[in-house]
Structure 1
Amino acid sequence: MAQASQATIGDSEFDRDTAVTRRADGVYDIDLSAGWTIINAVNGGYLLAVLGRALADHLPHPDPFTVSAHYLTASQPGPAVVRTQTVRTGRTLSTGQASLFQHDERGNEVERIRVLASYGDLDTLPDDVRTTAKPPAIPSIDQCFGPDDAPAPVPGSSAIADRLMLKLDPATLGWALGAPSGKGEMRAWFGLKDGRDADPFSLLLAVDALPPTAFELGLSGWVPTVELTVHVRCRPAPGPLRVAITTRNLAGGFLEEDAEVWDSNDRLVAQSRQLARARL
């Protein structure tokens, strides 16, 4: 049987499911896909990519540099509208804001997520790296495990697991075996299942696509994001990404997650921090 061809940037399920349709200046329509849900809610990284695509169309610069999102209510699969606004434009950076709205069961319009973001052109940045950051030490892909390797469905994976190439470091898989390590760590190889290479918009997904670090702290269930900020540092090289997420402080029912995303050239291509609610 002939092997299916690899999807390319601009022609993949991720691109189709994050594509927005311009209705008017600054107003975009989208049908949020059920394929990117975790339990019953639409994944926050997927939503960030949707709003990121709308802002890329609205602003004069093409690439997200920093995106800060507040998740106000849980988004559901189905119709939604994104409204964007230019805050400021400059020679190298432009800043805009965007909100995604849906109608509730009573027909009232509800704001789901609000974003403030600055955009530029990653291809114009100087190739000057001075860093003490190091790529995460993760075993090779064939020594890591994903949802397809589990004897039963992984709790909380839901539909999004079918669209990701996710291979978790065995050292961060204790929760799946009923023996969480107590360390707030999660590490994995990451990509899209159809083979599409990473770009700045899929990086917005990557920082929020792993199982929550709360699982390794011995908690279970949904860990909803309150706020998420992503910094895109450079355009990723082709090939799988490595994602490392850590939590150092769970207090008052909230925890932080700090993520780093590394490409196949050992470049730190994205960083993020989010605040999430832990169900104790």
Structure 2
Amino acid sequence: MPEASPLQAVRASIGDSEFDRDTAVTLREPGVYDIDLSAGWTIISAVNGGYLLAVLGRALSDALPHADPFTISAHYLTASQPGPAVIRTDIVRTGRTLSTGQASLFQYDEEGREVERIRVLASYGDLDTLPDDVRTTARPPALPPMDQCFGPEDGPAPVPGSSAITDRLMLKLDPETLGWALGAPSGKGEMRSWFGLADGRDPDPLSLLLAVDALPPTAFELGLSGWVPTVELTVHVRSRPAPGPLRVSITTRNLAGGFLEEDAEVWDSADRLVAQSRQLARVRLG
């Protein structure tokens, strides 16, 4: 088991937390859902991509006969803003162990025209039916205890604009990946952190969709600053996470042509790899 300082006493439970309320969708008609995107999950000037993925993931969980996301791929088409949105889902295929669906989130621009913000394709199943056999060379990240790591409250905001999302998260970043905060980025393209929700809610498959995209971007440790918008994000949920804090490790090996990849691993308190992701993001150079 990993060494860690205990989280604050649990105040919220799965199904009754700020994350659950802010990702809740309302069925308008079969396959169509309404939601009011919360400003509480914004960073700089846009709604966080992991929060958006969890919103669409929840809609698909309701629309499909299986509840748990196994793999979900999202293309971010335009920046989402807090406020009303509509999600349209479509069932592509249903099977005994896996069901596949797609979903798109739409908002209206200033002229009242409907604009697609994000489109996803996903396969869902039942994580509780998976066999226990695990054969892996992966190892959990070596993180210092939580009381030796640092959170957003320990320093100034890294970029100008909204940082509302940080008030809803428990982030404790590995000091070895915090050179950017001291004006001395390592150049390694790594970010590691303890992760949880600030109200103490335990993780579940939908919150894993948030976890893979909630840390500061690895671009900061490459010496870059500013918004790093996601172009595409694919998440594989491998297991239902155990209660307690998660550990998230993100690496970038290649920045070229103004784009970089971020490979994330999420580990639970039982030392299991519960989620993996890769995203392509755009950076502003110069």
Match of 1:155 among 150, 154, 159: 159
Q: How much does 1:6 deviate?
A: 1.4
The amino acid of 1:153's aligned partner reads: A
Q: What do the CA deviations read for 1:128-179 (whole angstroms, capped 9, x no partner)?
A: 10000000011010000001111x3332670000000000000000001100
Cα separation, 2, equivalents of 1:125 and 1:82: 29
Q: Secondary structure at the match of 1:256?
A: strand
Match of 2:133 among 113, 123, 128: 128
1:188-267 matches, within 5 Å, as 188-267=193-272
Cα separation, 1, equivalents of 2:40 and 2:10: 21
Cα separation, 2, equivalents of 1:145 and 1:161: 13
Matched, 1:117 2:122: yes
Cα separation, 1, equivalents of 2:9 and 2:210: 24
The amino acid of 2:147's aligned partner reads: D
Partner of 2:28: 23
Cα separation, 1, equivalents of 2:152 and 2:76: 27
Match of 2:148 among 143, 147, 150: 143
Say whether the 8 Å CA contact 2:211–2:248 is kept in structure 1: yes
- CA RMSD across the alignment: 1.0
The amino acid of 1:39's aligned partner reads: I
C-alpha spacing 1:5/1:216, structure 2 compared with 1 (3 Å) = closer
For normalisation by structure 1, the TM-score amounts to: 0.97
Cα separation, 1, equivalents of 2:105 and 2:204: 22
Cα separation, 2, equivalents of 1:245 and 1:43: 17
The amino acid of 1:247's aligned partner reads: T
Q: How much does 1:187 deviate?
A: 0.2
Q: Secondary structure at the match of 2:116?
A: strand
Unaligned runs of 5+ in 1: none
Q: Secondary structure at the match of 1:6?
A: coil
1:58-207 matches, within 5 Å, as 58-150=63-155, 152-155=156-159, 158-207=163-212
Cα separation, 2, equivalents of 1:215 and 1:270: 23
Say whether the 8 Å CA contact 2:10–2:201 is kept in structure 1: no
Matched, 1:279 2:284: yes
Q: Which aligned segments of 4 or more residues in structure 1 are displaced greater than 4 angstroms?
A: none
Cα separation, 2, equivalents of 1:155 and 1:100: 27
Q: What do the CA deviations read for 1:28-73 (whole angstroms, capped 9, x no partner)?
A: 0000000000111000000000000000000000100000000000
Equivalent pairs counted in the alignment come to 277
Q: What do the CA deviations read for 1:218-237 (whole angstroms, capped 9, x no partner)?
A: 00000000000000000000
Q: Secondary structure at the match of 2:158?
A: coil
C-alpha spacing 1:234/1:5, structure 2 compared with 1 (3 Å) = closer
Cα separation, 1, equivalents of 2:168 and 2:72: 23
Q: Secondary structure at the match of 1:276?
A: strand
Partner of 2:3: none
Cα separation, 2, equivalents of 1:231 and 1:208: 13
Cα separation, 1, equivalents of 2:69 and 2:146: 29
Partner of 2:5: none
Cα separation, 2, equivalents of 1:27 and 1:13: 23
Partner of 2:4: none
Q: How much does 1:4 deviate?
A: 7.4
Cα separation, 1, equivalents of 2:71 and 2:52: 15
Cα separation, 2, equivalents of 1:153 and 1:261: 24
Cα separation, 1, equivalents of 2:199 and 2:10: 9
The amino acid of 2:116's aligned partner reads: E
